[in-house]
Structure 1
Amino acid sequence: MPGLIISVIQTVSYREPRSVFRPGIRKRVPLLVSLFVFIVNLGACRAISVLDLPLEEAAERLRQGDIAFILNADPRRIEELRRIHPSAVFYAGLLAQSPEAGTADNPGLPRLPALLFGAALESPSRKIQEEAAVKLLPLVLEGEDTGLAERFLPGLQKRRASLAGTPGVEELYGGVLYTLGRFDELSEQYRDRNDPSPWGRALFLLGSIRAGENRSPELLDFFLSGPLEGPHHWAFREIRKLPSPFSSSEAAAIAGRFSVARFAYDEGLKHFRIPLEGQSLFFAYPELLADLGKAFQYTAAGEEGIKLFSEWDERIRSGGEGLTTAEAGNIRFRLWYYGGRILRQREQYGEAVRFFTRALSFAPDPLQRDACIWYILEITLEDDPGAVIPLLKTYITLWHEDEYFTDLLDQLARELILSGQWDSFLAVFPLIRPGTDGISRAKYAYIIGRAVLEGYIPAAKAGNLPDFSGAPLGSDYKTAAARPYFRIVLEEKKAPFYYRALAAVYLGEEIPPIPEEISGGTRTPSGEGMDFFLGFFTYGAASYAFSYLAPVMGDLPIGELRFLAETFAKAGRWGDSIRISAHYMAREDYRLSRRDLELAYPRPFIGLIEGSARKERLPPEILYGLIRTESAFIPDIGSRAGAIGLTQLMAATAEEMAGRIRREGGPDYRDQGEIDLRNPEINIPLGTRYLRYLMDRMESPMLALLAYNGGMGRLSRWRTALPELPGDLFPETIEVSETRDYGRKVLSSAAVYGYLYYGMTMEAVVADIFIKEVPVP
């Protein structure tokens, strides 16, 4: 192809030379020669091969994620992949590094990913260079020989000036120097750099120590300050190969941190006992104090920890450690905060609240303040739900992120319903109404409205809010008092569709139609960053794309995220597409559109899902809502509990449903020896049959959905204990938060699917789910 391009350029820019030919022939010769060169190069382009495959075939195989032709090739020819595209080698490297490729287990292939990432350093894209360097660095540092470092050094040296400032590449150069033992050069490279990356700092400190410099204080600070990341773990392994530059207390403190990081709390506490004899390290490094607190919390030594932390706090309070006011406050916060966590773990709740209350007065930032308040309210809620409300009045003006407390307010609502403290909803609602937590605001407003209609809250009391006159809107005073609360829910932009649709049912209204178009047009995004993400789909590595996108989604405009969500959906990456669209739809500046809803609520496997729904007499919108909630349309997904596939079935449940279908004359889903729940053509019919089975036995589709998640036996027991509670309020009382939220999610999804694809209003879908027999289209 390069020759073809050159010939075209030559044709366009050809300058006629002097010639002895006649004028007529002389005018024809340049054109004929250039045409001949063009044809020759065109033939050569068609003959280009990549690892013994025609260029087009190699490109197509890579696009499909098939790298067998790469794994079987001579590694010395690996750069031929650049003929597909200079950046293609990076994505091929990702595929070669996957467990499925088997390069780690094949002695002849372990260097292959490194060779591919090394070739990617030659890409014209700085983004590709950066990411390839990030992948290469641990391969170079953790290799058993210096071969890779020797291979990459000349190119990095040659191109160092052009690569300067490219994140990752400078660290790779430092890693190469370290591996080759060129410690003086490495130390010099970072000496004048301000605020190097964690990898750069680790390489500089270890390189300097190996060069004979005394960097022990800086290395100690590196290990004992801030979170432990990949560079810290590498540096820890390296320093253990050398004569220790640390005292026994310092070395033990470092080892203790790494033990706690891998949840080996007993081992961590054993290490910490050595520096505890001197204690000064824990005052110098607050992060170390936090790790000590976790070690006490999750071991049998909690009482010892409380005693020690109380003694330390008294010493600091009396000025015995010579700390500044800010230093003393930071340490005292951690002593009281982790002391509270230890006491909570030991179920000494009253004392735990006292410790968190004391920690709150020293909280160094809003996040830590919210954490203290959350623990205070959570512990109080477990002991006495009614006592939470006075605390809310005290603390709600102090907390920073309203959404941080959404789960706690959800649990409070459950406790208030179970205990019949209906008037307490009226006390809580004015406190949360001005905040930013639209989910809680909608929940409480809806529950109040329903409690008024059911007579649990007197209508006169409900009408006492300042902006509610309480004047009847009709002959039914209950309805008049409840309607303003339902109106709040319907107009709450952050309310889940679940509560909005329920409120619309009681208002006798429809949720306003969703706009069809998106303001601002649909221009295709461009730029190096977008090219980088699109390369995952062009070169067969779509399964890796989201892991690179997730950390930067907050920095991308909505238009680019929407385009990427569509790209993921076209590639069948439904779960990733849903996560992307959900991310930008939650932004403050977002305006809802039908197009975005279709991305967030797609219809893959439409033939299977609609066919199974018809066969089992189920509304397709409910089945779609269930599958989206269970698996986000990822066929091979599995849960920690052992549920598998699109409908997240347990093996025993699948066996039972398959047996029922077989006995009724249906297909035998065990004809291959066992049930393959990762196969959508098997999973969807079995999951649909299970939902039908539950719906036939429960009082409503909503309870069937809750039983699908929480188990039919438990749901029946919970419902039997509260038979008088209306069907839409009962789900708010379920003790398992996952099941409680599950019903809302499925119903919300079903409402959107009914609206988008089946000609229904959202409120109609919601109303149907609370009756025994649901209309089936």
Structure 2
Amino acid sequence: MLLRVSASSRLICILLALFSATIGCAAPVSPSRVWGLPADEFVARLAEGDRSVLDRVPDDDIRDALLLGDDAAFALGTLLVDTGRAPAGARLLRLAWETSPEPFRRAALNALVSLDAIPVDSDEYAALAREAIARYPDDLSALLLLSEHYYRTQRHADVLLLTDEASDAIASLSAGSLVRQELSLQRAVSAALIADGSIADGWVGPFRALYRDFLAAPMHSRLWVFLIAQETIRAAFTADELRFFEAKQLLAEGRAREAVDRFVESARRVVAGDQALRDLVLSPAARSDLFRGGLSASRWDAAAALESLAPLLSGDAATETLEYAGRIYRVVGAHAEAVRVLSAALDQAEGSRFDQSLRWYRLSSLVRMSPANAVRQLPESVATIDTPESFSALFLDLADRLVIANDWNSLRIAYDHLESFATDDVLARIALALTAAIDAGQFALPPGTAEQLRARYLERAAGQRADVFAALVAATLLGRDGVDALALAKPQPDAGDGAPAPAAESAAEPVADAVADAVVFARTWLRYGLTDRLARELRTAAAAVPWDLRVDASALLAARGEVSRSIAALNWFAAAGGRFTAEIARMRYPRAFADAFDRALDAEQVDPWVLYALIREESLFDPLVSSSAGAIGLAQLMPSTADDIAARLRLGGYDLTNPSDSVRIGARYLAMLTTQFGTVARALAAYNAGQGNVRRWERAAPHADELLFHQLIPFPETYNHVRKVVVSAAYYGYLYGDRAPADTVRAIFALAH
């Protein structure tokens, strides 16, 4: 019988500690009562997801919130708004604005001015918006809301007055700022139409600047509709200008091919000497738009147009334009042209801020054009690269192309060039591929040389942490148990099993000297159980979130049944190469839906830890998830596949979003594929890529063993899918089944001891 793991008592301890601790700048929870409940019970029930306690909060008597700490009025106001009680929520947000410290005061004010509970045309709304503008000149969201109201109600003079007051603040925003775009649009249109509908003076320049200074955006689609409807205003612009304006509108609406037609024609006219369009076409925004449209539509002529514009520019602008042209040539497959243009850009910009990106795209084109030739140029390329990390994906792409081409000698040469330069994950992956090739007899080497190379490659792969899969397989081939590859830290005796790893064994923790606002909010959302907002904060402020907060957030999310979010909360630390204790590793590799798995495993002869790993990697234990291809549920099954297997199982009326049905059908499908293909590794490949593809790969490499077959998989998604399942299965087997990670690798790849 499989191990059953009940909800950890550690989760309860975390929650109790959290509810009684100081939260950011918030005061500790008071032992007093709030709205008829003990304060700690009120907060604990919210954290557990019990929204019924909010029924105790009256619409008018809200000051008990002050007993809960500095963050309470803002958090409870947010909760009430989210649950449909906007008027009461607005009162609490007003209380937070009046009494709370930053950052809650600022957030409360921004929430207030965006609430439907305060009529946008009321004096109260205008006063709040102006308070926000005065107090927070670097945050113009309130200004935008007020200006939007004036604009929609055709109070154009008020728009001009309001934006005049904040002109310096608006100008300080980046051109990519949506707030700046919208305010600029409203000001330009209001300048064109004064309150009585006549034409105002001096409006053409600001209107034209909307097209010159900003990237194609939804506002350009709205502006085009406005131009079409306003014949008098449209008449102020030439046909060439209108063609350029229309290009922006088309690109904003996703019609890249039509947009490029118009951009290219505009560029042709400027190259021919048209001065009227010059400032529009040569602007940074226009060149970027032509680049984006050319990439999206895969248009060679967009690259040619950009290349023709470069001589009209100088300095960084000329270099950037050539880079744009080279990148489009690369995407459309014109790699020789890409290398030519990017080399020309490098000649005039070596050592500039474009130097490394130009080298990356040039080397990428060389790799795509001829991997073997790219290997020959590696010594020169490596000598000019500043940061190996930024080139890791490119080096892996080169290695993958050489593997698929069975060019093992070039791969070996590439490894030698990169050995003292590339990152650990790149070297480990190449080393493992070379080992598989040696074991499969792909090199004509003397026995002693082959053994020396094999040992060298395996030690390199086994001795690093960046690529857990490579470390696991290398350790297995070296006859080790593979435990070190899992990078589990020992628990600290003074802190308990949930403590973070010692400093010497963990990645640098993302804790800043001054706690970021995002971290303060994350602690507040954690404290009051706003899991949607908590998950969003963890995603957007990854590097700023302290490790202890991530662990606590993961525990709460797991306790609330939000398993996928619980796992995701810990992913930043794992990606940074940190070591987990076994207890925290179980939070990252949980036995979710254990009853459903037990029933499926009683019925099917599949490796239990492989099944858990497969489901984890397919859906992250989200039973409602669906893929763009149409796969549904925990096991991510296509409906047609599920229908066939359900018929074999005689399951009537199954539901792929039901965990029991999905795991049951997925387990049978995995068992069938393992029987059909002979090994778990090939079954996993077929589960991801389809049986037909695996059969085709088998015909292309009929004598490949399991490790070499995996290396030869031409689909990156499938290749990586197998890697991820192997790593997850190794963790599951070790954490719950007392199985050495190497035994899991042997079972999946059918390796002998």
Q: When the two structures are superposed, what TM-score results if normalisation uses the length of structure 2? A: 0.75
- 2:411 aligned with 1:425: yes
Q: Which residue is equivalent to 1:354?
A: 340
Larger Rg: 1
Q: Label 1:87 to 1:311 Cα distance change in 2 as closer, same or farther (>3 A).
A: closer
Q: Label 1:45 to 1:705 Cα distance change in 2 as closer, same or farther (>3 A).
A: closer
Q: Kindly indicate whether the alpha-carbon contact (under 8 Å) linking 2:646 and 2:665 is maintained by their aligned counterparts in 1.
A: yes
Q: Distance in 2 between matches of 1:177 and 1:266?
A: 35
Q: Kindly indicate whether the alpha-carbon contact (under 8 Å) linking 1:700 and 1:769 is maintained by their aligned counterparts in 2.
A: yes
Tell me the SS of whatever aligns to 1:87: helix
Q: 1:563 aligned to 549, 552, 555, which one?
A: 552
Q: CA deviation at 1:636?
A: 0.7
Q: Which residue is equivalent to 2:323?
A: 333
Q: 2:289 aligned to 280, 288, 291, which one?
A: 291
Structure 2: gaps (5+ residues): 1-31, 192-199, 501-510
Q: Which residue is equivalent to 1:490?
A: 462
Q: Kindly indicate whether the alpha-carbon contact (under 8 Å) linking 2:76 and 2:92 is maintained by their aligned counterparts in 1.
A: yes
Q: Distance in 2 between matches of 1:520 and 1:203?
A: 55
Q: Label 1:149 to 1:528 Cα distance change in 2 as closer, same or farther (>3 A).
A: same
Q: Distance in 1 between matches of 2:561 and 2:215?
A: 36
Tell me the SS of whatever aligns to 2:628: coil
Q: Which residue is equivalent to 2:309?
A: 312
The residue identity in structure 1 corresponding to 2:719 is R
The residue identity in structure 2 corresponding to 1:576 is R
Counterparts of 1:109-508 in structure 2 under 5 Å? 124=100, 126-131=102-107, 147=120, 150-156=123-129, 164-165=135-136, 168=139, 170-173=140-143, 175-176=145-146, 179-180=149-150, 181=155, 182-183=158-159, 186-193=162-169, 195-196=172-173, 198=177, 201-202=180-181, 205=184, 209=188, 210=190, 224-225=212-213, 247-248=237-238, 252-269=243-260, 271-272=262-263, 275-276=266-267, 277=269, 278=274, 279-281=277-279, 284-296=282-294, 298-299=296-297, 302=299, 304-305=301-302, 307-313=304-310, 316=311, 321=312, 323-334=313-324, 336-338=325-327, 340-341=329-330, 344-345=331-332, 347-361=333-347, 372-458=358-444, 478-495=450-467, 497-508=468-479
Q: Kindly indicate whether the alpha-carbon contact (under 8 Å) linking 2:215 and 2:288 is maintained by their aligned counterparts in 1.
A: no
Q: Label 1:372 to 1:68 Cα distance change in 2 as closer, same or farther (>3 A).
A: farther
Tell me the SS of whatever aligns to 1:696: helix
- 2:634 aligned with 1:661: no
The residue identity in structure 1 corresponding to 2:714 is E
Q: Distance in 2 between matches of 1:584 and 1:228?
A: 37
210-219 or 650-659, which deviates more: 210-219
Q: Kindly indicate whether the alpha-carbon contact (under 8 Å) linking 1:330 and 1:364 is maintained by their aligned counterparts in 2.
A: no
Q: Distance in 2 between matches of 1:629 and 1:580?
A: 16
Q: Label 1:226 to 1:601 Cα distance change in 2 as closer, same or farther (>3 A).
A: farther
Q: Kindly indicate whether the alpha-carbon contact (under 8 Å) linking 2:483 and 2:741 is maintained by their aligned counterparts in 1.
A: no
Q: CA deviation at 1:717?
A: 1.9
Q: CA deviation at 1:713?
A: 1.9
Q: Distance in 1 between matches of 2:380 and 2:489?
A: 42
The residue identity in structure 2 corresponding to 1:152 is Y
Q: Distance in 2 between matches of 1:709 and 1:640?
A: 14
Tell me the SS of whatever aligns to 1:677: coil
Q: Size of the alignment, in residue pairs?
A: 671
Tell me the SS of whatever aligns to 1:684: helix
Q: 1:771 aligned to 735, 738, 750, which one?
A: 750
Q: Distance in 2 between matches of 1:684 and 1:481?
A: 43
Q: Distance in 1 between matches of 2:37 and 2:328?
A: 73
Q: Which residue is equivalent to 1:7?
A: none
Q: CA deviation at 1:64?
A: 3.7
- 2:636 aligned with 1:648: yes
Tell me the SS of whatever aligns to 2:621: coil
Instruction: Encode CA deviations 1:289-319: one digit per residue, 9 max, x unaligned.
Output: 132234345559x454455445434xx2xxx
Q: Label 1:352 to 1:529 Cα distance change in 2 as closer, same or farther (>3 A).
A: closer
Q: Label 1:537 to 1:296 Cα distance change in 2 as closer, same or farther (>3 A).
A: closer
Q: When the two structures are superposed, what TM-score results if normalisation uses the length of structure 1? A: 0.73
Q: Which residue is equivalent to 2:21?
A: none
Q: Label 1:402 to 1:226 Cα distance change in 2 as closer, same or farther (>3 A).
A: farther
Q: CA deviation at 1:643?
A: 0.3
Q: Distance in 2 between matches of 1:47 and 1:725?
A: 68
Q: CA deviation at 1:640?
A: 0.4
Q: CA deviation at 1:698?
A: 1.1
Q: CA deviation at 1:558?
A: 3.1
Structure 1: gaps (5+ residues): 1-40, 49-54, 102-108, 462-471, 663-667
- 2:737 aligned with 1:740: no
Q: 2:73 aligned to 86, 103, 122, which one?
A: 86
Counterparts of 1:668-747 in structure 2 under 5 Å? 668-670=651-653, 675-747=654-726
Q: CA deviation at 1:351?
A: 3.0
57-66 or 754-763, which deviates more: 57-66
Q: Kindly indicate whether the alpha-carbon contact (under 8 Å) linking 2:43 and 2:527 is maintained by their aligned counterparts in 1.
A: no
Q: Kindly indicate whether the alpha-carbon contact (under 8 Å) linking 2:558 and 2:566 is maintained by their aligned counterparts in 1.
A: yes
The residue identity in structure 2 corresponding to 1:568 is L
The residue identity in structure 1 corresponding to 2:379 is K
61-70 or 709-718, which deviates more: 61-70
Instruction: Encode CA deviations 1:510-547: one digit per residue, 9 max, x unaligned.
Output: 33552232699578999975552244455564134322
Q: Distance in 2 between matches of 1:451 and 1:199?
A: 53
Q: Kindly indicate whether the alpha-carbon contact (under 8 Å) linking 1:123 and 1:129 is maintained by their aligned counterparts in 2.
A: yes
Q: Distance in 2 between matches of 1:232 and 1:93?
A: 37
Q: CA deviation at 1:487?
A: 0.9
Q: CA deviation at 1:382?
A: 4.6
Q: CA deviation at 1:603?
A: 2.3
Identical columns (%): 20
- What value does the CA root-mean-square deviation take over the aligned residues? 4.6
Q: CA deviation at 1:705?
A: 0.5
Q: Label 1:251 to 1:128 Cα distance change in 2 as closer, same or farther (>3 A).
A: farther
